Structure 1
Amino acid sequence: MAEHEATQILRHLDSLKPSTIQQAPQLLSRGKLALLHLKALVPSSQTSPQHLLLGASILECGALISIRLKDTESFTRYYQQLQSFYSLPDDRFARHGRPKHQSQVTGLYLLLLLSLGDYGGFHTVLEGLEVSRGKAQVEKDVFIQYPIRLEQALMEGSYDKVWGETKGERVPSEEFGVFSEVLINTIRSEIASCSERAYPSLPIANAKNLLFLDSEGAVVQFAQSRGWVARDGRIYFPQQEEELLAAEKDVMSSSGAVIENTLGYAQKLETIV
C-alpha cells in the first residue's frame, strides 16, 4: 500500500503546473511518510533497487519544486538528503538506472554555492564529482559545466560573460534561471558598491550597461533602491557628494586661514616699515 501511495504521489508531483505548485509541500510530506514505511527515505542495505529509485525520485521532485518556489533552504535540505542515494554504486539501482535528475540537482547546488559566494564549497563538491564520476564524464555534463563556466568568468572578472551565460538557450533548464538571477543581483550589488565609491556621478545610459539592466527606467528604479539620486540624465551618489562637499569645505577653511595669516603678516610688515 505504501509503495502504491508513493508511486501515485510521484506521478502527481510530476504533473504539477505553476498554478497548482502550492500543493507540492503537502504532497511531499505524504510522499516522505510513505517512503519511511518502505524504509526508502534513507537508503539501507535492505532497501530494494525499485524503492531506492522511488525514494530518490520523490526527493528530487522536492528539490526541483523548492527551486521553483524560491525556497533555497528547503532545496539545500533535499540536496543533503539525496547524497545518501547519489553516493550509491550503480549496481544498487540494478536495471532501474540511476536517479534521472542527479546531474541537474547537483548542478543547481553548485550554482547556489556560487550565488552565495562560497567558492570553497563549490570546489569541494566539484572535486568530489571528478573523483566519483571521472573528469571526462564531468566535462560532458551540461548541468555541471554551466556553473563551472560561470565560476571561471567570475574569477576572470568577466561580468559580461556571466551576463551572457544567464541569457536564453545557454541556461540548461528553467530552475537554473532562478539562481542565475540571484547571481546577477549579487554581481550588480558589487558593481554598484564599487561605482559609488569610485565616481561622484554617472550618466544613466552608462549605468544601464554597467549594471546589466534592461532599460533606463530600471536604472532609475535600482538607483532609488540604493538611495541614489537620478536627475538631468545622471545618477548621483550621495556619499560621494557628501565627501566632495566636506573636502571643499576643508579646502575653503584652509584657504581662509592662509589668507588671514597672510593679511596679518602684511600688516606686521607695514608696522615695521
Structure 2
Amino acid sequence: MGDIAGIQSMVADLTKMVDGPNPDLSKCKDLVNKLKIELVKCPEFQPGAFLDNSESKKPLILARQTYEKAAGLSILCEDIDGFYRNVAVLKDFYFDYSSILPPSESETLVIALQLLLLLAENQVAKFHTELELIPEELRDNVFVRFPIELEQFLTEGSYSELLASKDHIPEKSFAYFMRLLMVTVRDEVAKSCESAFDELTYPAAQKMLNLDSVTELEQYSMNRGWILDNSTIRFVKDVEGLKDDRKIENAVFEMIDRSLHYAVELERIV
C-alpha cells in the first residue's frame, strides 16, 4: 500500500527540483520513476476503487501533480516522446476525472504546450483535433490563446507577427517548443525558396529566413546543399529566377503569403 504522506513529500521535492534553478535532470528522473511506482501501490488505483471523499481523491491529485512535473521535466530534457507520454496520462485526469477532481492550476499550461508542439511538428490536422477537445472557457486563457494565435499567424502568412511572438512567450517552458517552431517554419520557407527561385542575394535570403548573421546563413545554406557564389545563393533549379534585387525583395514576402505549408494544409483540412 502506498504511503500517502511519503508520496506527498516526494512530490513536493520533485516540484522544488524541477522548478528550481539548474535542476539535476538525472535525479529528477529517478524521483519521477520512484513516484510512479509508489502511486501504483495506492488502493485508489486498484480496480473497483471508490472515490467518495477527499482522502480517497488525494492519491489521484498527487499522481496528476507527478505527471505534470514529469511533463515539465521532459521539456527540460528535450524529450518530445516523453512529453507526449506524460500528456496522454494527464488527459485522463483533466477530462475523464474532471467531475471528480478539483481543477489543476497547470492544466491550461500543459494543454497549451501540447498545441505548440503540434504546430512545431507541422501537425496541423492534429492541432485542430486537439483544439476541438478543449472546453470553450479555457480557450481565452493566456497560455492556450498563445498557440491559437500562432496558428492564425501561420494560416495568414503573417511571418513577421510570428517572429515577434518568440520574444513574448507567456511562460519560460514555451521557449524550447518555440525554437522548434522557428526551425520548422524556416525549413518550410527554405523549401519554397528552392521551388520559386534560381538564386537569392544574401540580404534577401537572410531576411526571409530570419537568420541573425551571414555566418548563420552560410552554414544553413551549406547544410541544405545550396551553392554560395559571391554573396549569392544558387538553388540549381531549372526555373526562371528573379535577377533584379528589388524584385526579389518584393517576391520574398509575396511568396511567404502564398506558400507557407501550414496554410496549404489547413485549406485541405477545411
Superposition TM-score, scaled by structure 2 size: 0.78
User: Within the alignment, does 1:28 sit opposite 2:29 as a pair?
Assistant: no
Alpha-carbon distance between aligned partners in 1 of 2:122 and 2:47, rounded to the nearest angstrom: 32
Q: Which 5+ residue runs of structure 1 have no aligned equivalent? A: 245-273
CA contact (8 A) 1:110 1:125 kept: yes
Instruction: Show CA shifts across 1:166-223 (max 9, x none).
Output: 22xx212122111111111111111111112222221111111100111221111111
Higher mean alpha-carbon deviation, 228-237 vs 189-198, is at 228-237
Q: Which amino acid aligns with 1:73?
A: D
Stretches of structure 2 lacking an aligned partner (at least 5 in a row): 240-270
- Give the equivalent residue in structure 1 for 2:132: 127
Q: Please state if 1:84 is matched with 2:82.
A: no
1:87-121 Cα deviation digits (max 9, x unpaired):
1455523xxx4222111111111111112222222
1:57 to 58, 65, 73: 65
Q: Provide the alpha-carbon RMSD of the alignment.
A: 2.1
What residue number does 1:269 align with? Answer: none
Q: Partner letter of residue 51 of structure 1?
A: P
* Larger RCO (CA within 8 A; separation ≥ 6): 2
Partner of 2:258: none
Paired position in structure 2 for 1:150: 150
CA distance in 1, matches of 2:172, 2:44: 29
Whether the 8 Å contact between 1:110 and 1:122 is mirrored in structure 2 is yes
State the aligned residue count. Answer: 231
State which structure, 1 or 2, has the greater radius of gyration over its C-alpha atoms.
1
Alpha-carbon deviation of 1:43?
A: 9.7
Alpha-carbon distance between aligned partners in 2 of 1:42 and 1:162, rounded to the nearest angstrom = 47
* CA positional deviation for 1:139: 3.9
CA distance, structure 1, for counterparts of residue 113 and residue 131 of structure 2: 12
For residues 42 and 154 of structure 1, what CA distance do their matches in structure 2 show? 45
Percent identity of paired positions between Structure 1 and Structure 2: 28
Q: C-alpha distance in 2, partners of 1:116/1:143?
A: 19
Q: Deviations over 1:137-177 (max 9, x none)?
A: 2343011101100111111122222211122xx21212211
Higher helix share: 1
Q: Determine the structure 2 residue equivalent to 1:179.
A: 177
Deviations 1:63-83 (A, max 9, x none): 111011111101101001111
**TM-score normalised by the chain length of structure 1:** 0.78
- Separation in 2, partners of 1:187, 1:114: 10
Sort the Cα spacing of 1:117 and 1:98 in 2 relative to 1 into closer, same or farther, 3 A.
same
* Pairing partner for 1:113 from 113, 118, 140: 118
